[in-house]
Amino acid sequence: MVDKANMRTLTDLPGPRGLPLLGNMLQIDLEKLHEQLELWCREFGTFYVFRMGRRPVVVVADPESMQVVLRNRPKIFRRVGTIEPVFNEMEVAGVFSAEGDDWKRQRRMTAPAFDSNHLRQFFPTLVKVTERLKSRWERAAANGTPVDVQQDLVRYTVDVTTNLAFGYDMNTLQKEGDIIQEHLEKIFPMINRRVNAVFPYWHYFKLSKDRALDRALVAIRETIAGFVKEGRARLRENPELAAHPTNLLEALLTARDENNAPLTDKEIHGNILTILLAGEDTTANSMAWIMHFMTEHPDIQERMRAEATGVVGDQQILAELQDADRLEYIEAVAHEAMRLKPVVPILFLEAIEDTEINDVRIPKGTPVVLLMQHGALDNAHFGAADQFRPDRWLEENRTGGCPHNPRAFIPFGAGPRFCPGRLLAMLEIKMVMAMLCAKFEISGAKSQEPVSELFSFTMMPRNLFVRFRRLGVPVS
């Protein structure tokens, strides 16, 4: 227990030197924000301060301290205050951006859509969508051209999400041209830009990216209106769905809180868009990073193939939901990829009352950034932390003195706001990786630019192109 008399203040913390009025703003490239914060962490330690203009921002990278902060959401910490108005303006306000009692209310209404019972009923549809992805990659293998796999995986996750959550089959995997992903992909980069802006410039003048965002939001609004129209038509035709909704949209349209009040149209729209963004972006990026590591480690790819073929056999796709539990090595590969390349490497929070972290006083309203990636890359928490070693996640390898601290691995968050979509995300990953390994061999497209990290509110791979070869087909 820290003596209150010995508590430190923000001015006692180390941090990078900045400029008068501007602070450290000119040192930050928003597309590489996570990398810059990691660099400062290596220089100033796991607890430091930088400044956006005159405003101090506290950075926390110690896993135990981060766990404390996450456990104290939403009571003491919330998402940074700039997020809510930005989300409201974009009409993305849903369970992700909601806080306090509003979050509890929306979480209670949305979480059942991702429970194991719902996923069990949904499994045949997941098989169907995975078959479409396999066909898409068979065509790519026949053509022999490099594939931007992150874009293909976004199509897959959008199709999964719209089927699961809204009962609507968008089938973007079999379409080309104007698809919803082209509009969705404009949102996260602009959220990143606006949340970190010193003042809301777009209220006074708009750049070309702001105008493109406006057009994208109009197109998305029309798509969501179509979802809602179809959902309400189903409820009129089948009134029994009100008591037993078959998907998230029906649940949102019929939900009532403890005061018997329904969700507003704005809340319904915001939650639909939130689920679309969360479902298509984070899981797709995680799978893309897994494929990147597979191209760099052919031996690991071969071991994944041996496990996958032993489970799926000649049909090349999981036949039963429970078969996913048998893919222990593929799960270990997924965990290792998420350890090295987390799609949420930093988390923006804010203190909603005067509080403390360790021996430091944190005034109400202070932004607090958690470096979710840092602890997982520290040799003190994981042996040979910079190396891709999936075996570290297998039960038989978690003893023997090599550091393995699961509390430093936080890909789905922790505490009350733990990600409700974890089960779906892991199931999608296992479905795709089992199919991929049983059907194809993949390699990197060497002629392309090196693969790099791009931060746009989440972290995604840039320049990740892959070549597919069907197993049993000779290399031409």
- The pLDDT of residue 475: 56
- pLDDT at residue 212 greater than cutoff 90: yes
For the segment 41-66, the average pLDDT, to the nearest whole number, is 94
Residue 286: name the closest of 339, 343, 371, 347 by CA.
343
The whole-angstrom distance between residue 143's C-alpha and the CA centroid of its chain comes to: 31
Q: What percent of the chain has pLDDT over 90?
A: 55
Contact (Cβ atoms closer than 8 angstroms) between residue 321 and residue 342: no
- pLDDT at residue 47 greater than cutoff 70: yes
- The pLDDT of residue 348: 92
Residue 108: name the closest of 334, 327, 267 by CA.
267
pLDDT averaged over the chain? 88
- CB-facing half-sphere around the CA of 213: CA atoms within 13 A: 21
For the segment 309-328, the average pLDDT, to the nearest whole number, is 93
Dist CA 267 CA 107 (whole Å): 12
Q: To 10 degrees, the CA torsion angle through 110, 116, 121, 122?
A: 70
Q: Could you tell me which CATH number the domain at 4-470 has?
A: 1.10.630.10
- The pLDDT of residue 345: 92
**Which three-class secondary structure state does DSSP give residue 13?**
coil
Strands (E), 281-330: none
How distant, in Å, are the alpha carbons of 91, 107, 119, 265, 280 from that of 269?
Answer: 7, 15, 23, 6, 17
For the segment 308-333, the average pLDDT, to the nearest whole number, is 94
Domain locations in the chain as residue ranges? 4-470
- The pLDDT of residue 2: 56
List Cβ neighbours of 122 (8 Å cut-off, separation of 6 or more). 163, 164
- pLDDT at residue 107 greater than cutoff 90: no
Q: What percent of the chain has pLDDT over 70?
A: 93
- The pLDDT of residue 186: 87
- The pLDDT of residue 61: 95
Instruction: State pLDDT tens for residues 410-446.
Output: 988 888 787 878 888 999 999 999 999 999 999 998 7
Lowest mean pLDDT among 163-172, 293-302, 303-312: 163-172
- The pLDDT of residue 326: 96
Residue 334: name the closest of 387, 397, 390, 378 by CA.
390
Q: What is the pTM of this model?
A: 0.90
- The pLDDT of residue 412: 86
Residue 421 φ/ψ, nearest 5 degrees: -90, 10
Dist CA 381 CA 312 (whole Å): 35
- The pLDDT of residue 446: 74
- pLDDT at residue 323 greater than cutoff 70: yes
Per-residue confidence band for 261, with pLDDT thresholds at 50, 70 and 90: confident
Which of 208-222, 414-428, 462-476 has the highest mean predicted lDDT (pLDDT)?
208-222
Residue 358: name the closest of 56, 69, 55 by CA.
69
The two structure tokens encoding residue 362: 């944190």
- The pLDDT of residue 66: 94
- The pLDDT of residue 243: 81
- pLDDT at residue 71 greater than cutoff 80: yes
